[in-house]
Structure 1
């Protein structure tokens, strides 16, 4: 179950992937495997590096923290850290919370493109027609010649634009917390959304969930989107006001492709399941064959930096 040698006296790292499956881990540490689905694998008081279990509920991820007085690093395998941030005050002073920026870029960007194409070309409708044995032809919107707005232009947003490049979009606009220039063109500040939204045929949400982005896509945001536009959310469900979105979907004015929802998991009978023009996938942007090799590489690199006392990557916050 683990490579923990309790009597060695070496510092201990808890990992959400079996240590035996990660080549090249530093020999200066002991290792224990914990994926959040069982009792603690060893005494958490020895843990100095905590790899947070992937796809576990926030309460599970945070459960060991109160028992880790020697903890120096909390490493998530997600780009977003909203599930861990509330637990930061209980971390030892100086402990670092690091995210997995870059880990999910390829997989999540791939799903964003898949959702966009599937929703535009009505793949769900064709699947239902196939199930019914019906031949339903007709014109559908294309991504070609469309205007796309990416809201949240970090590494995932940039990776989404990489994948949009061959599809002959008329325009790709970018929005982030602050304005900047890139090789592809300007990144606009969030304050520019009111003037950018009316021109977008597709709006892709790739922003982290923060106090500033929670509920960003509210009734006013949605009202500025053009008739027939598609909202694609691969960010976090709470970025969108679900009630406001449902009003637009049920009127038929907007369409949506959602990999994340609020609430999540989406309960049986929730109106989003049956809202017109809506495609829902169960938060699968990250879990793909691209995940494991990138997760192993991230953990290996961070642990090597840790034992050498080198700066860690992707530091989000340091505990006070």
Structure 2
């Protein structure tokens, strides 16, 4: 019998035999959604005698420290599963021998939709229309189309591919960049030469030592005048002060689902600068999340019970079955 701790009620999943399922939703219910548990469904953090037995832990969705801190209270833990595509918030809590799996595939549809939404909204003047509505101002003018634009996707993984698939019908050209070059995809070393070709730059790369602060004054200066920067990755990838300078000068525009700092504090210039559009880190928060998250959790638990290697391993070795 393998003890697992997940943020879903056991009866909501088609679970294989051989698992002892415990449930904990985490301490925040703001992102629970219609199919995830709420605090009313649980009695708080499981007792230590339960945590002492847990071997597979699915972290409740989000980035709250209590959920990641719990890793350190599970001595038999062998594998951790996030429900986020990014996993930098979990790394400080891992110990030698632990396997970490991310939620690759879960957020592709939702985040790709938002990336395209932010792009279209910014180009077609939607923020200006919303701001003008209370005063009844009629802002009829020529606005930019996505058609005939060149879009550079920085971080061509699963979500990057999903973004490209949704961009193609808009009759735009798509360039792709990833950490490692491959056929049809340039490496990060090609960025300086590609930035000047792009009308829109969409960031969807993971936050690593290499990408932290990557979008600095030099990066932004290489973008063409009037270009749009869309960040659906992580806030610290962008040097916020450098971006504010460019947007304030009117040379660049920005549409950001993630910021640094985050949440973006009241009074920050990005809230009110013309040419800036902010959404509150909702790339994964849509109705597309829960069905895909539950399928991933169920698949991983099936693999675990069958002694098969886990999917989406980003740290450590695939594990499965009894230790």
Out of 7, 28, 32, the position equivalent to 1:16 is 7
The answer to whether the aligner puts 1:50 opposite 2:40 as a matched pair is no
Runs of 4+ in 1 over 6 A off after TM superposition: none
Give the whole-Å Cα distance in 1 for the aligned partners of 2:125 and 2:226: 13
SS in 1 for 2:196: helix
SS in 2 for 1:83: coil
Please provide the CA RMSD for this pair. Answer: 1.2
The answer to whether the aligner puts 1:75 opposite 2:78 as a matched pair is no
Please state how far the C-alpha of 1:101 moved relative to its aligned partner.
0.5
Give the whole-Å Cα distance in 2 for the aligned partners of 1:61 and 1:41: 12
Q: Any gaps of 5 or more consecutive residues in structure 2?
A: 28-38, 318-323
Deviations 1:66-106 (A, max 9, x none): 110110110000110011011113xxx42210001111000
Query: What is the match of residue 306 of structure 1?
Result: 304
Give the whole-Å Cα distance in 1 for the aligned partners of 2:249 and 2:25: 43
Tell whether the 8 Å contact from 1:61 to 1:84 is kept in structure 2 after alignment: no
The answer to whether the aligner puts 1:103 opposite 2:94 as a matched pair is no
State TM-score, norm by structure 1: 0.91
Tell whether the 8 Å contact from 2:217 to 2:239 is kept in structure 1 after alignment: yes
Query: What is the match of residue 226 of structure 2?
Result: 228
Give the whole-Å Cα distance in 2 for the aligned partners of 1:267 and 1:128: 20
The answer to whether the aligner puts 1:259 opposite 2:257 as a matched pair is yes
State TM-score, norm by structure 2: 0.90
Query: What is the match of residue 34 of structure 1?
Result: 24
SS in 2 for 1:311: coil
Give the whole-Å Cα distance in 2 for the aligned partners of 1:84 and 1:95: 11
SS in 1 for 2:144: coil
Please state how far the C-alpha of 1:35 moved relative to its aligned partner.
1.7
Give the whole-Å Cα distance in 2 for the aligned partners of 1:69 and 1:40: 16
Q: Any gaps of 5 or more consecutive residues in structure 1?
A: 1-9
The alignment of Structure 1 onto Structure 2 pairs a total of residues equal to 300
Tell whether the 8 Å contact from 2:2 to 2:305 is kept in structure 1 after alignment: no
Query: What is the match of residue 64 of structure 1?
Result: 70
Give the whole-Å Cα distance in 1 for the aligned partners of 2:250 and 2:8: 44
